[in-house]
Chains A and B, each alone.
Chain A
């Protein structure tokens, strides 16, 4: 796997944006979908993925599992890639394995999960459990959840990466208070991905983590894009600005996602949903224009004015 410098990363990011703006084709299989590069390898992945926190934790109820399977089917049919889960999410990994087994089209899946335990040995068991629950022989990405015992788990993940069971490794947090610790890890450790919260209200990552990720060539996954629905609830009923249609935005969910993935350092956002209609809405972001830096400012100003 190549280790790209910041200059190379910026070229890749610019290329992906230009590629989307012009709609020109290249070697990618779906030329009009918004994809962003993973700096460490140059691999492109769709900029909108899927989270499973709460939404896929449905226990043993078959009816609910089948509903989630339809959400996942829609995700893949619309060109989805990254699916993110964790042992912390209750039965989500088990339900994911159930749904994947039922689908014939999982092309383009970028599997991502986490290890979440304070014990190194328990971490090894958890990693094995994830392979079993998902029904996979290889994971694209394994992350240390909420930085819990990251020292031991990153070592374990590096072993598994060297053995070819995992392609990328990373760390995650959804707590703003952990950003300084995350930055220290980014500065000192060889990791491929980071995951943290960033949206129109939670913008602390702009100060340090996003620039640092760009500088270090670390891919960025954004969680909690809607603050677990609270952002959408607050904006629902308020009018979208007239210029939103220039970017193909027809809903607040799309507005919020476009703001996030238009940041040049962001690789992928992972909104979670249990509804097929919402999945279609989210995935529509892959098909349409991204705002540039100036327009991102305009998007922010408009939301703050409401």
Chain B
């Protein structure tokens, strides 16, 4: 695996930091959006807006992080970027095609799981950064960095009152596996948390689709 990671942990932290600083203070606006999608996701009609916001996040991460930033140290990142753009477009198309669908409300456990995941996508990593005394500019939040965006997506899929498409989980889970393995190789323990949450949440979403909704 180390032959697939042609950079050091320090350099990765620096490019994440450079990326965050290049868009600051966009993170504040993005954080507000992340919290607002919690309310939007549960409302008829407005949940399309929530999904479109997430779709834009994926495309933005694909272009600005992967292709324009990460690709300067990892040749594979441009392909990650294409995958993220495809994911963003897929979410948007799925949102439009299923906009008239409505299913009974999910069980509370899944709703609270979705809310917890969305909050984590926005706030968990910066909190971990502060606890571990790492530079705050290394923090990853949804909409700006890939893994929290994947976490936000699964959180949204828990909340929207329509039957989630399992194929929308492929890229978030695949990316999280890669990100987790990279963090493991670079011995970045903090980098294991969010990918782990995404993978567990994806399994939870699959389980939620197998349990009948509340009556």
Contact = CB atoms under 8 A, between A and B. Distances in A.
Interface of A: 53-55, 57-61, 64, 87-92, 174, 228, 274
Contact of B73 (A53, A58, A174, A228): A58
Interface of B: 2-3, 6-8, 11, 14-15, 18, 69, 72-75
Interface hub of A87, A90, A91 (most chain B Cβ within 10 A): A90
B73 to A, nearest CB: 4
Nearest to A174: B3
Given A59-B72, A90-B72, A91-B72, A54 B7 contact: yes
A174 B75 CA distance: 19
B78 to A, nearest CB: 12
Given A58-B73, A89-B6, 15 more contacts: A53-B6, A54-B7, A55-B8, A57-B6, A57-B7, A57-B11, A58-B7, A58-B11, A58-B14, A59-B11, A60-B72, A61-B15, A87-B75, A88-B6, A90-B6
B14 A91 contact: no
A61 B6 contact: no
Contacts of B75: 87-88, 90
A92 B2 CA distance: 17
Contacts of A91: 72-73
Contacts of B2: 228
Given A59-B73, A60-B72, A228-B2, A90 B15 contact: no
A54 B75 CA distance: 13
22 contacts: A53-B6, A55-B8, A57-B73, A58-B7, A58-B11, A58-B14, A58-B73, A59-B11, A59-B15, A59-B72, A59-B73, A60-B72, A61-B15, A61-B18, A64-B14, A87-B75, A89-B6, A90-B7, A91-B72, A91-B73, A174-B3, A228-B2
Contacts of A87: 75
Q: 10 shortest A-B CB distances, which residue pairs?
A: A59-B72, A90-B73, A59-B73, A90-B6, A57-B7, A57-B73, A57-B6, A59-B15, A58-B11, A91-B72
Nearest to A92: B6
Contacts of B72: 59-60, 90-91
A64 B11 contact: yes
B84 to A, nearest CB: 19
Contacts of B11: 57-59, 61, 64
B101 to A, nearest CB: 44
A87 B7 CA distance: 13
Contacts of B73: 57-59, 90-91
Nearest to A229: B8
A70 to B, nearest CB: 16
Contacts of B7: 54, 57-58, 90
A58 B74 CA distance: 10
Contacts of B14: 58-59, 61, 64
Contacts of A53: 6
Contacts of B18: 59-61
A228 B3 CA distance: 10
Given A58-B73, A59-B73, A174-B3, A274 B8 contact: yes
A142 B72 CA distance: 23
A64 to B, nearest CB: 6
A59 B8 CA distance: 11
Contacts of A54: 6-8
Nearest to B5: A54
A274 B9 CA distance: 13
Contacts of A64: 11, 14
A150 B139 CA distance: 43
Contacts of A174: 3
Nearest to A53: B6
The interface centre, meaning the residue of B18, B69, B73 with most chain A CB atoms within 10 A of its CB, is B73
A90 B74 contact: yes
